[in-house]
Amino acid sequence: MIETMTTTTPSNNGHTLELYNSGASHHMTPYQHLLEDYSPTTDKLINAANQQSFHAVSTGNLHITVPNGESTTPIMLKNMLYAPEIATTLVSIGHIDNAGYLTTFGDRICSIHNADNKCIGQVPMQNRLYHVDQQNDTYHFTHTASNGLTIMQFHS
């Protein structure tokens, strides 16, 4: 589920990478410290597109900031799975759709519109992936995880 927020995202000293993924079955993140309403759950085995497996061990809600042209839109992703073995946050396009939002892809932009057809996000494509690396209000492609799946491994 996705919910438009009017507050700012919580501060994080590092950076977080969010990959907008049409093949992701759930919203997922390796950033446990950013989850609100954190709740352990039964260990869930998830298979990646490249047939590697990883585990989700809890759920929570995650605040993210989505770029939207010259501005940003803070939103909260609900029922996010915590999967410590993955390299990046996966934003499930299917869950965005199920929450009543419209997502379109074109001109190297993933656009997200609310039920009133107001654009709430425009995520750029870089290196064939729609993603946002949030650090000091700038967007870069730099995150990798040690001993986890990289973005390219996840999609291969």
Residue 49: predicted pLDDT:
79
Say how many domains are in the chain. 1
Residue 89 has pLDDT above 70, yes or no: yes
**What's the confidence (pLDDT) of residue 135?**
67
pLDDT band at 14 (very low <50, low <70, confident <90, very high): low
What's the mean pLDDT in 32-49?
89
pLDDT above 90 for 121 = yes
Long-range CB pairs of 92-100 (<8 Å, 24+ gap) are 92/21, 92/24, 92/25, 92/26, 92/27, 92/28, 93/20, 93/21, 93/22, 93/24, 94/22, 94/24, 94/25, 95/1, 95/2, 95/24, 95/26, 95/27, 96/2, 98/1, 99/1, 99/2, 99/3
Task: State which residues form the domain around 42.
Answer: 2-155
